[in-house]
Structure 1
Amino acid sequence: MAYPAPPVPGATAAPDRSPDGPRGLAEVVERFAEAWRSAEVPPDLPAYLPDSPAVRRVSLIELIKVDLANRWLRGDAPKRLAEYIVDLPELRTWPLPPDLIYEEFHVRRRAGGSVEVEEYTAAYPEQAEQLSEMLATDDYRSTLMATATATEPATEPANLDDLDVGHQVDDFDLMMGLGRGGFARVFLAHQRSMQRLVAVKISQDKSAEPQTLAQLDHDYIVRVFDQRVLPERRLRLLYMQYVPGGTLFTVLERVRTTPLDQRDGALLLDVIDTVLADKGEIRPSESTARAELADLSWPETIAWLGRRLAQALDYAGRCGVLHRDIKPANVLLTAEGIPKLADFNISFSGNVSGDSPVAYFGGSLAYMSPEQLAVVHPDRSTSAADLDTRSDLYALAVMLWELLTGRKPFPDDAVTGGDRTALDEMLARRSGSPQSLPYQDLPADCPAALRRALVRALDPDPNKRWPRGADMAQQLDVSLDARARDLVDPPPHSWRLRARPLMHPIMALSIGVPNGLAILYSYNHNRTLIIDKLDEQAQHRFDQVALAAYGIGFLIGFVVTNLLLWNLWSVSHGLRKGRSYDAATLAHARSDTLQLGRRNVLTCFALWALAGIVVPVSVQLTGNHLSASAYVHFFITQIVCGAIAMAYPYFLVTFYAVRSLYPIFLPHGGLNAGDAREFDRVDRRSTYFLVIAAAVPLLGVAGATFIPPEDISTVFVALRVLCVGSALAFIGIYLLFRMLEKDLTALARIVSSRPA
């Protein structure tokens, strides 16, 4: 049953629920709790949810916790989580957070109920292992968001320097120092209530980081479990996933002391193993990620790391969150070598109410994009609110370039302050053309796709950078896939490069030669069985009609082929000339490329089938009689030739399109699920056309059954040529089919890394 929401004291209109309105997450929870304290009936929970999608989920979970506690402890219409799922359908779109399940378990116990852990592990099998750990202790620690009220007395901030290993802070036993910054300290800690190891970041209570990180749930972002606020000490405790493998800063230090020819994936693993040994951690005995890394070159290792971090930034960007301090020290490594982005302490989320972009602005100058430096510069009008994910991708590219070469792309290491002169120099260095980057620092074996990914991300103009992290991740994926890499960036003297501008002549040969051979076979075959049996005038008329039909068919095919090529030729020619196109135009051109073979061969087959009807009918209309068997035989011959005109040109055109033309578009990014569906369609169509190619000899033999016995000997040689020639052609077609399958699979692997 839904209850009406209580009126807000002093309100004259609906509350402002926009992401930039005055009410933050803490206020949402506080107002709902106040409604419970003052209302006679349970308040309507959905009425208190903000509209912003990113913060709505966080708010919903916190409001349910408050609602659960009040309903069960007051005995006022208790509800189970299953009932909330029915009442709030949006809960079904993602798994219930373990901390919410934890709250229901303990609130039922506190209300006097007999609740067993097994009930919850059975109800939530996917989270059974985690719930077993969380619910195994009776030491309940509330996960409700702590908020300080305006009436609480102010206290002096705790001195972070006084914290040390061996101390207990709230629910956490501090075991080992993991790092520190100007505003926080990070410890490896044992969380008593959950009986687990966590990394706990202890800072003064003035950051929006918990609200920001609560929105993020991604494989390559450090997982934040929850926060605790200690109002009496004005401390904020942010506890998160413990990542034991060190940071990329440790890796960078090793890179700078290691000769270029000794850098590879094993170097990364060796750094991680050294960090694990120093902490007393055990190296994983079996790990697919470590096995993959061990076989990578150093540029491939950088692409492997960068691809995952670009995906993390893409996800954060889609959640409305900017990091704004990408640097090696803020990328943690698991024991398997998986990078995880951490420290969103100065990040800005446009979806967290009350969080000003300027309020927590900062970052490391040497990794900043030009527009982020302009925000810091006292004489520039750029606002922190003007930044977007492209700024984070710029910083990521600076970091990856430094890891790849041991040096940053800009000589900023001497910068120690943020005065006008230093900022002016940094902005000047970043304002140059991408061609001015120190390419001589790149390793000789650096894949072109990796270089392209970094160079475009480092463009001083944000509009020319990768629009999304997913696009940059795709280029880095190309660097890691040998076949995709060869497709996108073939060797300098490859036929695929030389063939790209020769679109029209190659298409003419691919379609014209098989059709010409089919016409030659058809004409000679029909002359023997049909034309030579007519009188001289009828033969002449048949020749005229047939040649006219074939000529008109060739003309129509030529026009249609050029029309089908026009958009593809126009866009690819523009790209070679350095022009830019929007995502929709590029997607359309990619689709045209993959459909080129199908559209052309269906046109050819339609013209052959049409000629099979038009030619004999036209001859008949001139007064020359043709027998019914001649009609049938001529039409069947046209269908056989139509099959030849479909199967062989299809593979020639599609192979050329996939191998030579389609890779033109990959360096520009933007591949998505639509491309993956197109790959699947091409693969299935290719199988169908392979069957047609295999059936050509059988169709020729089947057609011979309609030939009178006395005429078999006259076409025996032609049938033998058809059967043997098509069988040999099938072998060539099959080889093209197998290569086409591998190419499509490689392209599909690249697309699969991009989120929808």
Structure 2
Amino acid sequence: MTTELIRPLRSEIKSTTPQSRVPSETRSGMAPSLPEMISKSRRLASAFSKLGHCIGDFQLVSLAGEGSFGKVFLARQRSLDRDVALKITADLGHEGRTMARLEHSHVVQVFSEEVVSDRGIRLLCMQYVPGGTLHDVIRGLSFPGRKQWDGNAILDIVDDLNTHPAVMDPASLRSREQLAQCNRDEAACWIGQQLAEALSYAHGRGVLHRDIKPGNIMVNQYGKPLLMDFSLSLPAADVSNDRDAIFGGTIGYMAPEHFDALNPHHPSGPDQVTEQSDLYSLGAVLLELAMAGHERTRPEVVQPGNANVAPALRRIIGRCLEPNKQDRYSSAKELADALSGCFELLRVERSLPAKGTLTAVAQKYPLWFILLCTCVPNLTASAINLLYIGVVVIKDLTSAQQTAFFQMVGGYNVAVISLMGVMLHRTLFRAANSWQKLRGDRLLGAEELREARRQTLRLPFWTFVLGSVGWLPFAITIPLGMELLAGPVDRGVMLHTGVAFVVTGLVGIVTNYYVVAFVVLRAVYMSLWRDVDRLRETASNEIADVPGKNRICQIIAGLTPLGAATLLILVGPEHFTADSYHQFRHTVVVLIALAMAGFWLSMTATAFLNEVVAVMTVKPPAKTDAGTGKLMSWVRSILATATFATPAEALLRSGNQE
């Protein structure tokens, strides 16, 4: 991926004059040069375009816009009594015929074309689009003092630009509602996706636009973008064969190969301008839109790390702006799918539970967050457990047995820590390596991303396994080791020691699981997507089993201390001294309290993680069989009428409803 996103030069935004490839001295006896054609077209358009006058069937109402080849007017078509956009140019090019074949909801529709031969002008009657150009919108969004903008800001600007009353289209109100709900990056994706779909439609019919820029994109009162001004367009198959073709572009939005094709000293020709050239131009437009209103010290270049654009959108724009067209999207359809997926990804991220300090830290330092938030609680629990066993459980054992206990604990920890290091290298550190690659904006393939997500999603499971391997053998190994090294140990002490290690271990295991699951699902998983396609469906398959695992951990968190307390009561000492009774009672009370606290904490963590999963996935509606559905309908009828009727009346009403 490119390390810099090339920004269209603001100084060139209004420069729409195409350049001719053929030197003027070689044109003797040929058609006029392109600058001459443009000048002639402008002169003719100005000469025959007086407001209030009629040209053929059209009465000119107001000037709507002015381009390189002519002028566009809001006009009244007298025969049909409707408002239209009338473009007046010299009789050049193929724009009318090209646009006539493009009947798409995001392409300005052409109604008719008429050549006034005695005046040498062409009248192109098009759909009137109330609103303004995307250039006007971006200029409004870049107004000094505007720090942030969203879909509503775009609609407000379009409403201000729309000074002519327009016919209400109820079917398009949904588009306005969708845009109004978008933040800045979502709005850029939403607009870009529709423009890419329009390009895909045009490319599918062999038409290249070749002059995509904000000034050639209308935004109507519903926020829908529409491509227009196909004066430089041409069927791709005819790009180098048509003598009447007009070849040019707008500096700042042209792809490198397009710019080279306009250079008379470069060996490449117009045939090098392909579909990927249009995608480059669209990427430049999207970058300008996404960056509207943000200050830049170098307007022509945006560093990805400082672009203040969502990473997923930044990567899509960056791929559009690759210098080599082979590295760009292969088609406008692929770009539209990528923008659609990016929009869905951004919506999912915005719908996730609010990002607090912990989430922000976990997203920035996921590996260190996992290591710190698992090691510190486990080390603390281990220290408290050893202190408890040393002070309460084994205090009456012989010196040799106490020494054997601490020797066994030390030796076991050395072995377990060595094993943990090997297993962490094969699980956590391998997954973290893929996170680091993505943090560096490295472009990974689809298979690499799937593997990275697979490794990442398995981390909570491996955490559970590692914790079980590290903690649970303590309960058997330590008591048996004490007996082997220092002679027989009281069975009550062995049981008490084993229970203490099991309780501490399971609490540590569950804590580790929830910490790692939190980092994986809330902080990391959503970053492991690039050109997103069917995000929710894929996520549903990848994380469908997470709620079930959460329930298991919730049960373990609550039942472990409670089960330990029950076990101590059932098989505890038959006789107590005053001190041992108080210790026993306190131990049971603490275990029950731990059970209550653990269940509440695990329930909170489970609810949070399940909410994250629900946002990311698509859950099918619950299915009920006919019998169950009928029973539920009967119950709802009873509940609905019971407040106002006797039971007999309620049953009667329920039967009547059926």
Matching of residues 296-695 of structure 1 within 5 Å: 303-315=185-197, 323-343=209-229, 346=232, 354-356=237-239, 361-382=247-268, 384-385=271-272, 387=274, 388=276, 390-397=279-286, 399-400=288-289, 404=293, 434=302, 468=335, 483=350, 495-496=361-362, 499-500=365-366, 503=367, 505-516=368-379, 548-549=411-412, 551-574=414-437, 581-605=444-468, 608=471, 643-658=506-521, 660-661=523-524, 669-673=530-534, 677-678=538-539, 682=543, 685=546, 688-689=549-550, 692-693=553-554, 695=556
Separation in structure 1 between the aligned mates of residue 193 and residue 403 of structure 2, nearest angstrom: 70
Letter in 2 for 1:309: I
The alpha-carbon deviation at position 698 of structure 1 amounts to 2.5
Contact 2:536 2:616 in 1 (8 A): no
Contact 2:409 2:478 in 1 (8 A): yes
Structure 2 counterpart SS, 1:332: strand
TM-score, L = length of structure 2: 0.58
Separation in structure 2 between the aligned mates of residue 644 and residue 507 of structure 1, nearest angstrom: 16
Q: 1:718 aligns with which of 581, 587, 590?
A: 587
Letter in 2 for 1:589: A
Separation in structure 2 between the aligned mates of residue 742 and residue 240 of structure 1, nearest angstrom: 49
Structure 1 counterpart SS, 2:164: helix
Structure-2 change in CA distance of 1:189 and 1:552 (3 Å): farther
Contact 2:140 2:157 in 1 (8 A): yes
Letter in 2 for 1:393: L
Cα offsets for 1:147-183 (capped at 9, x unmatched): xxxxxxxxxxxx99999979679xxx99999778649
Separation in structure 2 between the aligned mates of residue 386 and residue 292 of structure 1, nearest angstrom: 35
Letter in 1 for 2:264: P
Pair 1:247-2:110 in alignment: no
Structure-2 change in CA distance of 1:332 and 1:656 (3 Å): same
Separation in structure 2 between the aligned mates of residue 214 and residue 308 of structure 1, nearest angstrom: 25
Cα offsets for 1:182-225 (capped at 9, x unmatched): 499898899999x999989999897599789978867xx2386x
Structure-2 change in CA distance of 1:484 and 1:556 (3 Å): farther
Structure-2 change in CA distance of 1:401 and 1:698 (3 Å): closer
Contact 2:95 2:229 in 1 (8 A): no
Separation in structure 2 between the aligned mates of residue 470 and residue 215 of structure 1, nearest angstrom: 21
Separation in structure 2 between the aligned mates of residue 639 and residue 210 of structure 1, nearest angstrom: 80
Q: State, as a whole percentage, how many aligned pairs show the same letter.
A: 21
The alpha-carbon deviation at position 260 of structure 1 amounts to 3.5
Match of 1:269 in 2: 155
Structure-2 change in CA distance of 1:379 and 1:275 (3 Å): same
Letter in 2 for 1:722: L
Cα offsets for 1:588-622 (capped at 9, x unmatched): 33443344223322332355566667778989999
Separation in structure 2 between the aligned mates of residue 673 and residue 629 of structure 1, nearest angstrom: 58
Separation in structure 2 between the aligned mates of residue 607 and residue 370 of structure 1, nearest angstrom: 59
Contact 2:190 2:339 in 1 (8 A): no
Contact 2:77 2:83 in 1 (8 A): yes
Match of 2:631 in 1: none
Contact 2:404 2:482 in 1 (8 A): yes
Q: Which runs of 5+ in 2 are unaligned?
A: 1-43, 574-580, 619-658
Separation in structure 2 between the aligned mates of residue 542 and residue 460 of structure 1, nearest angstrom: 68
Pair 1:699-2:573 in alignment: no
Matching of residues 39-438 of structure 1 within 5 Å: 182=69, 207=94, 221-222=106-107, 243-251=129-137, 259-261=144-146, 268-274=154-160, 276-281=162-167, 290=176, 303-315=185-197, 323-343=209-229, 346=232, 354-356=237-239, 361-382=247-268, 384-385=271-272, 387=274, 388=276, 390-397=279-286, 399-400=288-289, 404=293, 434=302
Contact 2:133 2:215 in 1 (8 A): yes
Cα offsets for 1:484-523 (capped at 9, x unmatched): 89999x99x96457635xx2x5433333345456656877
The alpha-carbon deviation at position 374 of structure 1 amounts to 1.7
How big is the alpha-carbon RMSD for the aligned residues of Structure 1 and Structure 2?
6.4
Contact 1:208 1:355 in 2 (8 A): no
The alpha-carbon deviation at position 327 of structure 1 amounts to 1.8
Structure-2 change in CA distance of 1:339 and 1:704 (3 Å): same
TM-score, L = length of structure 1: 0.52
The alpha-carbon deviation at position 557 of structure 1 amounts to 2.6
Letter in 2 for 1:565: L
Structure 2 counterpart SS, 1:365: coil
Separation in structure 2 between the aligned mates of residue 191 and residue 694 of structure 1, nearest angstrom: 77
The alpha-carbon deviation at position 711 of structure 1 amounts to 1.6
Contact 1:175 1:188 in 2 (8 A): yes
Which one is further off, 586-595 or 518-527? Answer: 518-527
Count how many residue pairs are aligned between Structure 1 and Structure 2: 540
Contact 2:404 2:481 in 1 (8 A): no
Separation in structure 2 between the aligned mates of residue 520 and residue 262 of structure 1, nearest angstrom: 51
Separation in structure 2 between the aligned mates of residue 563 and residue 287 of structure 1, nearest angstrom: 53
Structure 2 counterpart SS, 1:336: coil
Q: Which runs of 5+ in 1 are unaligned?
A: 1-158, 411-429, 750-756
Separation in structure 2 between the aligned mates of residue 391 and residue 616 of structure 1, nearest angstrom: 70
Letter in 2 for 1:308: W
Separation in structure 2 between the aligned mates of residue 272 and residue 708 of structure 1, nearest angstrom: 75
The alpha-carbon deviation at position 396 of structure 1 amounts to 1.3
Structure 1 counterpart SS, 2:572: helix
Contact 1:310 1:470 in 2 (8 A): no
Separation in structure 2 between the aligned mates of residue 401 and residue 710 of structure 1, nearest angstrom: 69
The alpha-carbon deviation at position 649 of structure 1 amounts to 0.8
Match of 1:424 in 2: none
The alpha-carbon deviation at position 340 of structure 1 amounts to 3.1
Structure 2 counterpart SS, 1:364: coil
Letter in 2 for 1:689: N
Structure-2 change in CA distance of 1:263 and 1:643 (3 Å): closer
Structure 2 counterpart SS, 1:649: helix
Structure-2 change in CA distance of 1:568 and 1:377 (3 Å): farther
Which one is further off, 621-630 or 450-459? Answer: 621-630
Structure 1 counterpart SS, 2:226: strand
Letter in 2 for 1:273: D
Cα offsets for 1:623-654 (capped at 9, x unmatched): 99999999999988776555424321122123
Contact 1:457 1:465 in 2 (8 A): yes
Structure-2 change in CA distance of 1:636 and 1:264 (3 Å): closer
Contact 1:177 1:186 in 2 (8 A): yes
Separation in structure 2 between the aligned mates of residue 634 and residue 406 of structure 1, nearest angstrom: 64
